[in-house]
Amino acid sequence: MTVGGGGPCGPECACGAPSRSAFVALSPTRTAGAAGTAAATHPIEQVSVPAGVFRMGDSSGDENPGDGETPVHEVELSAFEIDATPVTNDAFAAFVDATGYVTEAESFGFSAVFHLAVAADADDVLGRPPQTPWWVGVRGADWRHPGGRHSDITDLSDHPVVHVSHADAEAYCSWAARALPTEAQWEYAARGGLAAQKYPWGQAEPGIEGWAVNIWQGDFPSVNTQLDGYLTTAPVRTFAPNGYGLWQAVGNVWEWCADWFDPAYYAASPRAHPTGPATGATRVLRGGSYLCHDSYCNRYRNSARSHNTPDSSMGNAGFRTVSAR
């Protein structure tokens, strides 16, 4: 279900933030970023996903109109290694310490923060896009300051890094000699060896037997009862891993994939090793986030898709990596 759903819609229909351009009229001038090079150690545990064939897409009838979760189609993949968890703040700090990399949120001077997570002075609040007033453009929000200037990551070292753009994620991957997963790799890994199931753990709805995923409980976007324990991000090893050893493939934070987004892609996707459309305007995001709620954004499912421009960043999106192709 989507608010005002029923037709094709952009990322504003999902719980991802609006694209950076929605805030840009309100933003200061961008300053140049910089990246050096240094020998990398990718400090995230990896798990093996065996070669195989799976049925990609939504077979449960939960597809969001316009997201392109169908047709279900067979995909064949070679074996690969994928991070057991999203890249953490600690891991991203190692990358930044080694290279001096400046993220896009830092160079643009702002990022998108969920309204209940803002920790900034009023004059750092750039405004709220009218379609999604729960997203606030906050000057000074970046990966080290997830709520704005008055926040930090002192107690969040094992939380997923957020406020990283697709370009930032690719820069990390270059340093780490890794790659972003293709969308097909991501979904195959999220399924954890189970066929045609809605969630990484199977078909059971979250909350039936305890909360197994960090999403939203209560009335979105104002009242979060936090039955799962978390208003925003949770440590990356919260709850339980799936059959391949991936933690929190769904919920917690959206994860950037390598592919360009096209809702029509599945109808023409090659069977072997699909890598997405040749070009596009937005990049794929997978897995949903702590803002997903059945009444608003049910994208905490294996097959759910979202997307945003490669320069966009927000407090509920990060990434995990795979072995370089």
- Of the candidate spans 99-107, 128-136, 221-229, 264-272, the one that interacts with Ca ion by CB under 5 A turns out to be 221-229
Please give the Cα distance from 256 to 281 (Å, whole number). 14
Give the three-state DSSP class for 218.
strand
Contacts of 269 (CB under 8 A, 6+ apart): 56, 73, 75, 184
Question: Least CB distance from residue 226 to Ca ion, whole Å?
Answer: 6
Contacts of 69 (CB under 8 A, 6+ apart): 57, 58, 62, 63, 266, 303, 304, 305
- Of the candidate spans 33-41, 202-210, 262-270, 295-303, the one that interacts with Cu ion by CB under 5 A turns out to be 295-303
Q: Which is nearer to Cu ion, 73 or 293 (CB)?
A: 293
Backbone φ, ψ for residue 51 (5° rounding): -60, 150
Closest CA to 49 of 84, 83, 79: 79
Beta strands in 6-146 (DSSP E): 46-49, 52-56, 73-77, 80-83, 110-114, 125-127, 135-139
**214 contacts Ca ion (rule: CB under 5 A):** yes
Q: Which is nearer to Ca ion, 179 or 227 (CB)?
A: 227
Which of Cu ion, Ca ion, none lies near 230, with the C-beta cut-off 5 to 8 A by kind? Ca ion
Question: Least CB distance from residue 89 to Ca ion, whole Å?
Answer: 18
- Contact positions with Cu ion (CB under 5 A) in 15-44: 15
Please give the Cα distance from 55 to 57 (Å, whole number). 7
Please give the Cα distance from 123 to 139 (Å, whole number). 9
- Of the candidate spans 179-187, 224-232, 244-252, 280-288, the one that interacts with Cu ion by CB under 5 A turns out to be 280-288
Q: Under a CB-based contact definition with an 8 Å cutoff, are residues 285 and 300 in contact?
A: no
**145 contacts Cu ion (rule: CB under 5 A):** no
**230 contacts Ca ion (rule: CB under 5 A):** yes
**211 contacts Ca ion (rule: CB under 5 A):** no
Q: Which is nearer to Cu ion, 276 or 288 (CB)?
A: 288
- Of the candidate spans 8-16, 54-62, 224-232, 255-263, the one that interacts with Ca ion by CB under 5 A turns out to be 224-232
CA distances 156 to 57, 86, 280, Å, are 33, 13, 34
**288 contacts Cu ion (rule: CB under 5 A):** yes
* Residue nearest Ca ion, CB atom distance: 230
Q: Which residues bind Ca ion (CB under 5 A)?
A: 214, 228, 230, 290
Q: Which residues bind Cu ion (CB under 5 A)?
A: 15, 288, 292, 297, 299
